[in-house]
């Protein structure tokens, strides 16, 4: 059996390390073809970062990572796009910290894209310059992927005045996306909170929110079909025991009692198929004796 990718959020590491991968590339292809500006809200530890990294590898044309996956024959791998990837997983506790963090993120993207921006004072203008220069350098429109867009605000949720200042700073930053529409191919943002409930995207009001779109209900997470097929060998045990820290029992000669697993873990529904939290399922599997 393949290794389980517990805590791994890098697509290439999963594929090259021969870890189990539940194919979401068909959904990714549909999303890219249908929309230009997309927003997805999901709980923490739900696979958002992995899906975003999968998109990055698609747009960068790394076909070798997608051998045998649904998108391989559906995508034009000869066309590649410059990708700006932004992640706010680190802590932001003040407006100045936010400014420094933005410059650090933008500098990392400049190094990866081999671009040097002139702007050194304003991260918002630096972002706009990076978008334009990336398009000009690679003679192609730019892809922007933002992971945990709301983390700087959530870091300060108990300090409302500071959270509002950071919110305004983030709004100015995201406004640069819409202002540079002519240079953009695709924009994808993820987060925990719903952007419609905060005035963060007043300058970026053309986002398509797929959070409760039934067509993309399983964009993150594992479906029942996934557990019945890809995960079946991991649940088929021949021992009888109670799993530590879960209260779930193994059925002698039949493996894990899947009805109990379903009651404990299959509680998420985003108006599509009910899904399991992938991190919970992977942790559960780590506790199953072999």
Using CA atoms, how far residue 2 sits from 18, 67, 123, 231, in Å, is 6, 16, 43, 10
Helix (H, G, I), strand (E, B) or coil at 30: helix
> What's the CA gap between 256 and 159, in Å, rounded?
45
**Given 216, 246, 266, which residue is the final one in a domain?**
216
Residues 235 and 269 in one domain: yes
Residues 185 and 104 in one domain: yes
For the cut 60, the answer to whether the pLDDT of residue 249 exceeds it is no
pLDDT band (50, 70, 90) for residue 255: low
**Given 216, 235, 264, which residue is the final one in a domain?**
216
Query: Residue 265 falls within a domain, yes or no?
Result: yes
Q: What's the DSSP call for residue 3?
A: B
pLDDT band (50, 70, 90) for residue 31: very high
> What's the CA gap between 203 and 152, in Å, rounded?
18
> What's the CA gap between 263 and 276, in Å, rounded?
10
For the cut 90, the answer to whether the pLDDT of residue 261 exceeds it is no
Residues 107 and 154 in one domain: yes
For the cut 60, the answer to whether the pLDDT of residue 244 exceeds it is no
- C-alpha torsion 102→103→105→111, nearest 10: 160
pLDDT at res. 219: 93
Residues 41 and 108 in one domain: yes
Residues 230 and 278 in one domain: yes
pLDDT band (50, 70, 90) for residue 289: low
> What's the CA gap between 105 and 120, in Å, rounded?
13
Higher per-residue pLDDT: 197 or 11: 11
Q: What's the DSSP call for residue 251?
A: E
Q: What's the DSSP call for residue 138?
A: H
DSSP for 208-222, please give it: EE-TT-GGGTTSSSE
58 token code pair: 């698609």
How many domains is the chain built from?
Answer: 2
In sequence order, what are the residues at sequence separation of 6 or more whose Cβ sits closer than 8 angstroms to the Cβ of residue 178? 203, 204, 205, 206
Residues 46 and 108 in one domain: yes
| Domain with 274 in it | 222-287
Residues 226 and 209 in one domain: no
Residues 195 and 227 in one domain: no
pLDDT band (50, 70, 90) for residue 274: confident
pLDDT band (50, 70, 90) for residue 153: confident
Query: Residue 73 falls within a domain, yes or no?
Result: yes
Residues 117 and 59 in one domain: yes
For the cut 70, the answer to whether the pLDDT of residue 145 exceeds it is yes
Q: Taking residues 27-40, report their average pLDDT.
A: 95
Residues 106 and 34 in one domain: yes
For the cut 50, the answer to whether the pLDDT of residue 143 exceeds it is yes
Query: Residue 105 falls within a domain, yes or no?
Result: yes
pLDDT at res. 90: 65
Asked whether 261 and 245 are in contact (CB, 8 A), the reply is: no
pLDDT at res. 288: 59
**Given 185, 216, 247, which residue is the final one in a domain?**
216
How do residues 94-141 score in pLDDT, each as one tens digit?
A: 888 888 999 999 999 999 999 999 988 899 999 999 999 999 999 999
**pTM for this model (two decimals):** 0.89
Q: Taking residues 150-171, report their average pLDDT.
A: 86
The pLDDT mean for the chain works out to: 87
Query: Residue 47 falls within a domain, yes or no?
Result: yes
In sequence order, what are the residues at sequence separation of 6 or more whose Cβ sits closer than 8 angstroms to the Cβ of residue 11? 50, 53, 54, 56, 57, 65
Q: Taking residues 12-23, report their average pLDDT.
A: 96
How do residues 162-208 score in pLDDT, each as one tens digit?
A: 888 888 888 889 999 989 999 999 999 998 887 554 556 666 677 89
Higher per-residue pLDDT: 79 or 286: 79
Query: Residue 6 falls within a domain, yes or no?
Result: no
In sequence order, what are the residues at sequence separation of 6 or more whose Cβ sits closer than 8 angstroms to the Cβ of residue 126? 102, 103, 106, 117, 119, 120
Residues 208 and 79 in one domain: yes
Asked whether 143 and 95 are in contact (CB, 8 A), the reply is: no
Backbone angles phi, psi at 181, to 5 degrees: -55, -35
pLDDT at res. 203: 61
Query: Residue 3 falls within a domain, yes or no?
Result: no
- CATH number of the CATH domain containing 187: 3.40.50
Query: Residue 5 falls within a domain, yes or no?
Result: no
Query: Residue 149 falls within a domain, yes or no?
Result: yes
Residues 158 and 189 in one domain: yes
């Amino acid at each position: 059996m393949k290794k389980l990718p517990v805590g791994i959020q890098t697509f290439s590491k999963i594929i090259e390390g021969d870890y189990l991968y539940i194919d979401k590339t068909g959904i990714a292809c549909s999303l890219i073809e249908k929309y230009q500006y997309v927003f997805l809200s999901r709980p923490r530890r739900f696979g958002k970062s992995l899906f975003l990294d999968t998109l990055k590898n698609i747009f960068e044309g790394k076909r070798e990572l997608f051998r045998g996956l649904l998108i391989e024959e559906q995508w034009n791998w000869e066309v590649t796009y410059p990708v700006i990837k932004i992640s706010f997983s680190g802590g932001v506790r003040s407006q100045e910290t936010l400014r420094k963090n933005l410059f650090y993120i933008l500098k990392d993207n400049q190094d990866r894209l081999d671009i040097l921006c002139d702007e050194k004072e304003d991260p918002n203008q630096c972002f706009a310059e990076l978008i334009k220069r990336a398009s000009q350098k690679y003679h192609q429109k730019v892809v922007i992927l933002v992971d945990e867009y709301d983390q700087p605000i959530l870091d300060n949720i108990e300090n409302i005045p500071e959270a509002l200042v950071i919110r305004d700073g983030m709004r100015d930053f995201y406004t640069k996306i819409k202002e540079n529409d002519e240079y953009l191919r695709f924009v994808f943002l993820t987060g925990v909170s719903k952007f419609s409930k905060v005035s963060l995207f007043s300058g970026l009001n053309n986002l398509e929110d797929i959070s409760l779109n039934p067509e993309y209900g399983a964009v993150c997470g594992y479906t029942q079909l996934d557990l019945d097929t890809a995960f079946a060998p991991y649940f088929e045990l021949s021992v009888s025991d109670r799993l530590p820290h879960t209260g779930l029992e193994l059925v002698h000669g039949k493996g894990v009692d899947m009805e109990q697993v379903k009651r404990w873990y299959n509680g998420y529904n985003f108006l599509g198929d009910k899904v399991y939290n992938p991190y919970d399922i992977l942790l559960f599997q780590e506790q199953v004796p072999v």
